Structure 1
Amino acid sequence: MRNNITEMQFLYTQESISQQFSKEKFCQFLQEDMIFPLKGIRKKYRKNDIIIPEGGTINEIYFIESGHVVAMKDGEKVIDFHAKNEIIGLTNLLLDSQSEYTFQVISNDLVTIRYDKESIIEKVINTQEGYFYHYVHMQNQISQMMDKEELLRLPSEQRISLALFTLVNKFGEATDDPDLICFPKPISKGMIAQYTNLNPNTITNVLQKLQEEDILYPARRAFYIDTFKLQIKLEDAS
């Protein structure tokens, strides 16, 4: 596999690799019937359902079609969030590997396409494209882990502001104003506190300050963020 990755880096730039072998195209690749065809099973979940428990055996891979999932450790530490077009269970290609996290549904509904892990492995290791897709997936995982570590080193207000900026750009709902994005409703203030490793009261105080600065706009059961103003705030703090 390492030889394939080395050859790939000679043929493609890092940017072109990410574009040509994105997570959105990965699912299309798996569903192609020409080589090693796979049959996925669509499965629906409800809020609070656990897809994979921490320590559980992972022999299935999940592609999220709609909805939101939280990855937790020790039942209370929020590590990350996952939504449409993201993959759960592909970090370790070994069969019977154990999950580091609990993956739990936080939206009202979740729809996934579930694949047998053994079939995924066969397609990944026996096709050149498979190596590429898994390489990009792992690079994204490593990048997210490094970003999270850097986030947790920041002062409280900057940490919360950056977390909001990251999450709203990744999972938020667009509005008619390109700068104004609705923060994802399934991600609560409590989850933001766990994600940033801060006290819920600190979250509330910073959200209030952002509101006073006309960066955050509360609405019924939701709030909106002016990402342009928030980006400027983050740049000024760095």
Structure 2
Amino acid sequence: MDFMMSGLAACGACLFTNPLEVVKTRMQLQGELQAPGSYQRHYRNVFHAFITIGKVDGLAALQKGLAPALLYQFLMNGIRLGTYGMAEAGGYLHTAEGTLSPVRSAAAGAMAGVMGAYLGSPIYMVKTHLQAQAASEIAVGHQYKHQIFPPQSWKVALAAAMVSGIAVVLAMTPFDVASTRLYNQPTDTRGKGLMYRGMLDTLLQTARTEGIFGMYKGIGASYFRLGPHTILSLFFWDQLRVLYYKYTK
């Protein structure tokens, strides 16, 4: 669960910060191995870069490389924070006397960081290639022509559903947990719940007794269910609509 929560938290932040990552990547590649003043500056500053990219490449270009960026954040931060959390929970960061050891904490943090960065490096490379892609008039650095999925592929819809699913499960899981517990609680002879009085009471009791993580139980299953469920629902809806019009005309 430490791995899952750490990774999903980083993905949630990435949804909002990826445009800045696109701007940063292009500004870092601008003027690569060229003397100052000898090249055209397409991006004068952060704000100018935002405007230029949005105007020339379109607003969607500000989220280029989002899929590998999310995967990178999930993998790197899941491993980094999850591994450190496991070391802390296992008591490896404390001395025999029970006090926190700064040396052990630093060593565990460094090892976890190295593992996350090493395993995430190939994905980071793909992300950088995609974020550097631009129209010829504002292109900087080498232009790789990667294409993750072919146009109109079901994989595009699945990736979009999985990306948007991060925000959905983060917002909805507490209510889903509460709803599950409300439906599953024992009742008296009149059908009145014996554990919870309603949705708000369920949320408050859960948070007070089990902590904030208690409100996110099952978030992994919810997330990995959401994408396929969305795609399959749309697929069956589309097929049923085709059959309906075929046999009613």
TM-score normalised over the length of structure 2:
0.25
Larger C-alpha radius of gyration, 1 or 2? 2
> Would you tell me which structure has more strand in proportion to its own residues?
1
> Would you tell me which structure has more helix in proportion to its own residues?
2
